[in-house]
Amino acid sequence: MLGVAVAAKFTGGYLGAHLGGGRGRQACAIGFGLMPQGAVGIILAFLALEFALIDETVFVALVTTALVTSILSGPFIKCAMAHEPLNPL
């Protein structure tokens, strides 16, 4: 589940950025920036568990996915933008 979540979020963000004019590392950083699922994922998982739509195993998988994607996005963005020049506004 974690691999699918990371790949789908990154790919969607990367393709959107690329089609919108972002190139290379910038498009990668945008893809990584859209990867975290965070609090919304945990809240929805909790509600689904409360209403017996999912069991505890699926709940743990969803919460783990939300936490791991949130933790990994920062280092991935930093790596993607390591050699990107800053654009002054």
Query: Three-state SS for 77?
Result: helix
φ, ψ of residue 54 to 5 degrees: the values are -135, 165
Residue 75 predicted with pLDDT over 90: yes
Query: How far apart (Å, rounded) are the C-alpha atoms in residues 45 and 65?
Result: 11
Query: How far apart (Å, rounded) are the C-alpha atoms in residues 77 and 61?
Result: 24
pLDDT value of residue 87: 63
And the tokens for 86?
């800053």
Question: Rounded to two decimals, what is the model's pTM?
Answer: 0.76
pLDDT digits 0-9 by tens, 29-40: 999 999 887 889
- Class of residue 65 by CB neighbours under 10 A (exposed 0-12, middle 13-18, buried 19+): buried
